[in-house]
Structure 1
């Protein structure tokens, strides 16, 4: 089914949410909340939502590479840490695919909304503290 148009959101607002998602992803690795605020009201199918999220953040992360190079973040120690964590990333990806395939769309959306509230609360707590 095609995505639904979210009521109350003008389409140009999607550009602002995209910018906010990219900006917060760059400075704090917290781009998910603005992305979710724009995408979740569209009630995409579970698989389309997961795929769209993966593609969006893959693109955002590749866009950040030149800035990280300029900031000197690709040090020997950081690259060794990334290499050590690569098996965990691969295993987590397969675990995520396994989990998504076993959760109904209704429970999936409920979990996403609950997690979004928790992440938002944590970010607000960190900002105030």
Structure 2
């Protein structure tokens, strides 16, 4: 008499197909969660910088010290601009469209902070 509890190849193929369908269906949902979390982090950075800017004059290096970017956040600064965002390299940071940009006040411009999140 054959054992009815034995898993057949056909059953394994059906289980694999069902799991693959669930995985494909979940990808857009999980991708949206990642995008929203990156946008929230950038928004919190912007609010922190704007709040600190009300009490003290910030420059490019003081923003890096204030935020202290870690893990997957990268920071880059030049003479009057500070970029903090999500990228694998500094070149990707400025071109990747997932960053917070702070432009320091000088004679020609005023302090300006923006978030670019179209590439998150």
Per the shorter chain, which TM-score range? Answer: under 0.3
Higher relative contact order (CA 8 A, sep 6+): 1
Structure having the higher helix fraction is: 1
The TM-score with structure 2 as length reference comes to: 0.28
Structure having the higher strand fraction is: 2
